[in-house]
Structure 1
Amino acid sequence: MAQAYLRRSRISLIFDDGVDEKGKPVTKTKTFTNVALTATPDSIQQFAQAYASLQQKPLVTVERIDNNDILS
């Protein structure tokens, strides 16, 4: 049976950057690499809120991107 092994994790903070000339929403993304593999959703959310409080644009969402090795 195959097993997944967490190898790397990063987070992306997506900020509202207004609208374009056609009225479609525009976002800006800030990505942080080398996130601790043991980071919990609560700790990531706490970091994101602290970082967003230093920005002028409102935070829209936070994404966690994990990379896994699949081995048999």
Structure 2
Amino acid sequence: MAQALLEGTKLRLVFEAGMDNEGNPILKAKTFSNVKKDVSVDQLYQAAHAISVLCNDMLYKVERNDSSEIIA
């Protein structure tokens, strides 16, 4: 049976930086690497909110990106 070994976690913040000519949001992202693998969803959200307060743009969404190695 195959297993997945969690190798790393990244926190990605997506900001709304305005609107284009067609009224669609312009999105910009910032990714933070080396996030602790065992961090909770609440802790990630609190960190994202604290970082977004320091930015000029409005926080659009928060993503957690995990990468795993699949072994047999």
TM-score range, shorter chain: over 0.9
Distance across 1 between alignment mates of 2:46 and 2:24: 29
Q: Which runs of 5+ in 2 are unaligned?
A: none
Q: Deviations over 1:25-62 (max 9, x none)?
A: 11110100011111111110000000111111110110
In structure 2, the residue matched to 1:11 is 11
Q: Please state which structure has a larger fraction of its residues in strand.
A: 2
How many residues get paired?
Answer: 72
Residue of structure 2 in register with 1:50 after alignment: 50
Unaligned runs of 5+ in 1: none
Query: What CA RMSD, in Å, does the superposition of the two structures yield over aligned residues?
Result: 0.8
Where in structure 2 are the equivalents of 1:1-72 lying within 5 Å?
Answer: 1-72=1-72
- TM-score with structure 1 setting the length: 0.94
